[in-house]
């Protein structure tokens, strides 16, 4: 165990501090956790066979973690031997710079979070080992265990999958325990700031953490953290972690996965497995100071459900893949629920679920089968702008990343990097 040394950490942080720019993708689903890259000048049409493969590298271990990109480093988590490990790679060519053990539990699911302010990187194993390391060296700074430290619990057996949220001097994560559903920690020391008590969230779904990650909302002029748990969507106050509201109708009993979408006073949530569905909620504050999540609309799973590939909100329109174990591209007006288009085709039906990101007015759909498609992000109609396929090393579930004019695809033990500028 490496003990925390604040003076040494300050020295390392000072030389490593950086500023998040368009070339960076420091955490799950990008800088704002919305699946949107703000880069421009990217390809509007892919050539036959797809964009050029710039380089690939191996040594990432097994797992479904995507990558975080910050400065001159790439970070991911993979199983090395029997244990999960945090891995730091060079941005230029992907050579492995360091590997740091995280804990047992097999191939991990969650994507690391890199902090631009301190240079520290945070990651989680399937068994709940949570680690903070120096991004420059991989040296352990502090470590927690969700089960031992917070009586944490997962809703089902695929293990913890969250990517932690950095918010100022705090780190937010979801152990899933009845008295520590969400915790806020000091990001430099791991010391507990507050924890959320949520012993009873209704009968839908299952107790414990889900497979989603926390996002920030300012709904009803109140800063709050939104998370999809085993019992559905919850909101906790950013100042002290108290439970503000919860909504369980979209919860299923297998795995609640997609990260909620935030727009003003509204929250859009969805889950799959044939027992979830999709809903838009409007958040308001009542005269007595309590909060209320009013259902604007709800679609049952057979009409609209997102399995585990995520959704993107661009302007007023939501884009993503519909269907359990499917990724049929759709576009829907967020506030009205009007489905503008839903596309079905033979190649997509064979592709299964799709992980989705957006950049420069276009969507990248990465299907479980290895199919990767470029689709224009327009409510007018479905417009296919090119595709290619990779040879899978396990299901293509890791979410694609677009940073620095490059498309990053984690593929089991390897990382494939394509030029899309």
pLDDT > 90? residue 17: no
Q: What is the mean pLDDT of residues 87-94?
A: 97
Say yes or no to pLDDT of 242 above 50: yes
User: 283 versus 82: which is more confidently predicted?
Assistant: 283
3-state class of 14 per DSSP? helix
In the chain, where the domains are located: 6-36+66-354
* pLDDT, tens digit, 9 for 90 and up, residues 113-155: 999 999 999 999 999 999 999 999 999 999 999 999 999 999 9
User: Please, are residues 158 and 212 in contact by the beta-carbon 8 Å criterion?
Assistant: no
pLDDT score recorded for residue 22: 60
* pLDDT score at 10: 39
Compute the average pLDDT of residues 293-299: 98
- Predicted pLDDT at 80: 85
Percent of the chain with pLDDT over 90: 91
pLDDT band at 14; cut points 50, 70, 90: very low
Instruction: Convert the pLDDT of each residue in 393-404 to its tens digit.
Output: 999 999 999 999
Query: What does the pLDDT look like over 30-80, one tens digit per residue?
Result: 999 999 999 999 999 999 999 999 999 999 999 999 999 999 999 999 998
Is 13's pLDDT higher than 60? no
Residue 178 in this model has a pLDDT that exceeds 90: yes
- The fold of the 6-36+66-354 domain, in CATH, is Methylamine Dehydrogenase; Chain H (2.130.10)
When pLDDT is averaged across residues 81-98 and rounded to a whole number, the result is 95
Classify 250 as helix, strand or coil: coil
The pLDDT score that the predictor gives to residue 365 is 98
Extended strands (E) in 248-390: 261-263, 266-271, 277-285, 291-299, 311-314, 317-322, 328-333, 339-342, 354-359, 362-367, 371-376, 384-389
Name the least confident of 81-85, 90-94, 351-355.
81-85
Please, which pLDDT band fits residue 347 given cuts at 50, 70 and 90? confident
**CB of 410 within 8 A of CB of 76?**
yes
Q: Which H/E stretch holds residue 131?
A: strand 129-134
Count CB atoms within 10 A of the CB of residue 336. Answer: 11
Read off φ and ψ for residue 103, nearest 5 degrees. 165, 175
- Rounded Cα distance, 180 and 128, in Å: 14
In tens, the pLDDT along 352-364 reads: 999 999 999 999 9
Question: Within 13 Å and on the Cβ side, how many CA atoms surround 154?
Answer: 19
pLDDT of residue 23: 80
pLDDT of residue 369 exceeding 80, the answer is yes
Q: How far apart are alpha carbons 27 and 44 in whole angstroms?
A: 25
pLDDT classification of 205: cutoffs 50, 70, 90: very high
Instruction: Work out the pLDDT band at 21, boundaries 50, 70, 90.
Output: low
266 pLDDT higher than 90: yes
pLDDT at 105: 86
Residues 354 and 326: their CA atoms lie apart, in Å, by 7
Say whether pLDDT at 108 is over 70.
yes
DSSP three-state, residue 86: strand
């Amino acid at each position: 165990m490496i003990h925390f040394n604040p003076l040494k950490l300050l020295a390392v942080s000072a030389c490593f501090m950086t500023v998040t720019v368009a070339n960076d993708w420091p955490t799950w689903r990008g800088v704002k956790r919305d699946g949107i890259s703000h880069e421009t000048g990217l390809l509007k049409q892919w050539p036959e066979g797809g964009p050029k493969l710039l380089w690939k590298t191996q040594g990432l271990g097994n797992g479904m973690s995507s990558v975080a990109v910050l400065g001159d480093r790439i970070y991911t988590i993979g199983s090395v031997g029997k244990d999960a490990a945090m891995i730091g790679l060079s941005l230029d060519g992907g050579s492995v710079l360091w590997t740091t053990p995280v804990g047992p539990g097999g191939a991990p699911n969650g994507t690391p979070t890199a902090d631009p302010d301190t240079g520290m990187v945070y990651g989680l194993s399937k068994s709940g080992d949570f680690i903070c390391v120096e991004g420059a060296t991989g040296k352990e700074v502090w470590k927690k265990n969700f089960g031992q430290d917070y009586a944490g619990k997962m809703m089902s057996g695929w293990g913890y999958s969250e990517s932690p949220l950095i918010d100022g001097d705090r780190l937010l994560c979801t152990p899933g325990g009845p008295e520590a559903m969400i915790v806020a920690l000091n990001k430099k020391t791991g010391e507990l700031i507050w924890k959320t008590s949520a012993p009873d969230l209704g009968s839908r779904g299952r107790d414990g953490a889900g497979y989603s990650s926390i996002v920030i909302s300012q709904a009803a002029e109140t800063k709050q953290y939104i998370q999809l748990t085993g019992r559905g969507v919850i909101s906790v106050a950013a100042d002290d972690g108290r439970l503000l509201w919860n909504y369980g109708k979209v919860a299923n009993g297998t795995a609640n996965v997609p990260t909620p979408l935030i727009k003003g006073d509204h929250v859009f949530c969805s889950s799959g497995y044939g027992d979830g569905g999709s809903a838009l909620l409007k958040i308001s504050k009542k005269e007595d100071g309590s909060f209320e999540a009013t259902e604007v609309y709800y679609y049952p799973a057979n009409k609209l459900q997102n399995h585990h590939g995520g959704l993107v909100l661009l302007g007023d329109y939501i884009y993503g893949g519909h269907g359990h174990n499917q990724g049929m591209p759709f576009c829907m007006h967020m506030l009205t629920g009007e489905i503008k288009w839903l596309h079905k085709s033979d190649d997509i039906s064979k592709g299964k679920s799709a992980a989705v990101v957006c950049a420069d007015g276009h969507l990248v759909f990465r299907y479980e089968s290895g199919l990767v498609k470029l689709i224009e992000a327009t409510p007018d109609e479905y417009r296919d702008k090119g595709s290619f396929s990779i040879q899978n090393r396990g299901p293509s579930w890791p979410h694609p990343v677009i940073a620095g004019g490059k498309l990053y695809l984690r593929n089991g033990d390897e990382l494939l990097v394509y030029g899309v500028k």
